[in-house]
Structures are given as C-alpha cells and as structure tokens.
C-alpha cells in the first residue's frame, strides 16, 4: 500500500469507533496481498465472528467474502496507464477488483473523477459509488514555527512529494525548473532517493540544486511543506493526492497538473496541463514574483484544508456503513 493509503486506513481505524459509537468495530490487518491470510484466514475470520459488514480500505481483497462488503478504490491509475506497471496488474484488476466492486454494497472513492473511471474500467454502477474526500490534520502552531527554521540557511526551494513512478511525470517538473530564468536561484527538493540514474544532479544549474530528500518522518515533511515556496505536483493522474491537501494545511501554495487535482481542491490550486513544461515554468515564476497570488493561494488553501478533517471523512464513511446495513 502507498503512504497515502496507509494514512487513510490508520486515520479511519482510529476515528470510526468515536464517530459511530453505536457500531462495533473489529480491525483485521494481517498478511500480504493474495497471500494465505488475505485469501483464506480472513474469510474464515469473517465467518467465525459473524461480521455484518466488511470494509476493504483498498483494492486488495479476498476472492470470496462471506458477508456484505464495502470497498474503497482510491484511483484506477494502474488501468489508465498500464504501460507503467507490471503485466500482472491488469489480470488482477479483472479477476479480483472487478469482482470486489460488483459484490460490494457501496464503492467509496476520493474524487468525482474516479467515478467515471470505475464505470469505464470496471463496470461499476455510478449509483452505488460514494465520493468522500480524504482529510488532513492541521499542523499545530509550534510545529509551524519550528518548520520556518528548517531551511533558513539555504536557498528557497520548490518541493515535490510522492513516489517516482512514471505516471508521476517528474521529468516535466525537472524540465520546467531547469528552464527558470537565471535570476531565480531556487532549489528543487524531491522526497525519496535519487533513483533517476542521476537525473537530479544533471538537472542542477547556475547557483541552484536539485536534491533528493530521502524518506521523511511526518513531522519533517510538515516542516518542508511549510518552508517551501510551493508544492509542485506534475502527475499525469491522482486519486486524491494527499500531499496537495497537506501542503495547503501547512500554508503552502500548490501548483498541480489539471489532470491530478481533485475537484474539491481545485479552487485553491494553480493548475497547468500535465505535459506542458513551459506552462509550469510560467507558474513557478508567478509564484516567485507575484506576492498577491501567493497570498491568495495560501488563504484559500488554508480555509479549504480546515474544512477537510479526518473526522469529517470518518463520519461520512460511517454514514455509508449505516446506508449499507439498512
């Protein structure tokens, strides 16, 4: 599971018992995808415990489920861009995920755009899909103040957060950053390792640097968000893109491709066509030079993030449980 999927599962597991005290919850988290625990032990556990409703928090499910179920599908990027993934992914979706969606009482997803993909790729009836945006925890003032000091001795920087799979479209970001006018001595920070065969080092020019940050703790990531000139997200597609919301919560402007911004976040983001490096360069210059634009994006993003709590996400999810049980 991705970092965002793990965060989703963790936040719901923590909050659901509190927002729906009339329901009894049991958590099952043993085993790996398509292993014994998932395919055999879990169905047996469901039967023994006489579970009324099972919620699978991702597309990884048993072939046989002896109870009513709900499944969350965050995105269908694997089916949109099959050339970027292993050959076995397509058959898995056809055999397991399509079946999981067909038997589910409800299918939960993070954004309206994925409803169309669910219908197109998996034949899901849009009438049983429920859209529930993800949530965020607003950083405390003490965390934000500490964050301001993280990079105080270095040059300003843009930040990109996420894995480095091909659909993340990092080459467009590198091209756009490389094309910045020489007057802008702004670094580029990317989470994770430099697994681009040295592309980050080769992209460095003038008095600025492209740098891989490695794996970051949640606290450190919040600090990098807070001190960045902007979070830049060039992906070809996202289910929700949790880093976008996390950056807004930290008071950071967001620049994101039109194809990757969820509907609920679009009003507070600066968008560009995913493969248009020139358009992205223009936006980066605007972020650096237009203080009014920066302030507007920060204010709108902060207000939007305050309305998208994990408690709200959990309450909406519990409402789907009640609907399915009824």
Tens of pLDDT, residue by residue over 47-98, are 999 999 999 999 999 999 999 999 999 999 999 999 888 888 999 999 999 9
User: Within this chain, do residues 97 and 19 fall inside the same structural domain, yes or no?
Assistant: yes
Which residue stretches of the chain are H helix?
Answer: 3-19, 36, 42-48, 77-80, 89-92, 98-103, 112-122, 141-147, 170-178, 199-203, 218-227, 242-249, 277-289, 291-307, 310-325
- The CATH number covering residue 28 comes to 3.40.50.2000
Backbone CA torsion sign across 275, 199, 3, 58: positive
- Residue-wise pLDDT for 159-209, tens only, equals 999 988 889 999 999 999 999 998 999 999 999 987 765 667 666 666 788
pLDDT, position 148:
45
Count of the separate structural domains present in the chain? 2
Condensed to tens digits (0 to 9), the pLDDT of residues 113-140 reads 999 999 999 999 999 999 999 999 988 7
78 and 171 inside one domain: no
| Mean local confidence (pLDDT), 228-253 | 96
Instruction: Kindly state whether residues 274 and 314 are assigned to the same domain.
Output: no
- Same-domain status, 235 and 264: yes
Are 80 and 157 members of one domain? no
Assess whether 108 and 88 both reside in one domain. yes
| Parent domain of 207 | 141-307
286/317 same-domain check: no
Say if residue 44 is in the same domain as residue 96.
yes
118 and 166 part of one domain: no
| pLDDT given for residue 29 in this prediction | 84
């Amino acid at each position: 599971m991705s970092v965002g999927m793990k965060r989703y599962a963790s936040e719901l597991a923590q909050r659901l018992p509190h927002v729906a005290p009339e329901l009894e919850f049991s958590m099952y988290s043993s085993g790996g995808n398509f292993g014994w625990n998932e395919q055999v032990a879990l169905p047996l556990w469901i039967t023994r415990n006489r579970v009324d409703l099972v919620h699978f928090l991702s597309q990884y499910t048993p072939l046989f489920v002896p109870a009513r179920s709900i499944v969350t599908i965050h995105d269908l990027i694997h089916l949109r861009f099959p050339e970027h993934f292993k050959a076995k992914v397509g058959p898995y979706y056809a055999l397991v995920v399509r079946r999981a969606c067909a038997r589910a009482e409800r299918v939960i997803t993070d954004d309206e755009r994925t409803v169309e993909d669910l219908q197109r790729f998996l034949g899901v009836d849009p009438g049983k899909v429920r859209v529930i945006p993800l949530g965020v925890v607003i950083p405390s003032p003490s965390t934000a103040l500490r964050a301001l000091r993280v990079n105080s001795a270095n040059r300003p920087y843009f930040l990109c957060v996420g894995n480095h799979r091909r659909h993340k479209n990092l080459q467009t970001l590198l091209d756009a950053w490389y094309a910045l006018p020489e007057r802008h001595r702004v670094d580029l920070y990317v989470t994770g390792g430099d697994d681009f065969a040295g592309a980050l080092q080769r992209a460095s020019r003038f008095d600025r640097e492209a740098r891989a940050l490695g794996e970051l703790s949640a606290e450190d990531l919040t600090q990098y968000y807070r001190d960045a000139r902007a979070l830049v997200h060039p992906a070809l597609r996202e289910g929700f893109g949790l880093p976008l919301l996390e950056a807004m919560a930290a008071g950071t402007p967001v620049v994101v491709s039109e194809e990757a911004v969820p509907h609920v976040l679009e009003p507070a983001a600066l968008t560009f066509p995913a493969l248009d490096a020139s358009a992205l360069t223009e936006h980066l210059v605007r972020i650096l030079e237009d203080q009014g634009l920066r302030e507007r994006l920060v204010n709108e993003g902060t207000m939007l993030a305050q309305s998208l709590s994990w408690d709200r996400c959990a309450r909406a999810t519990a409402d789907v449980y009640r609907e399915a049980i009824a």
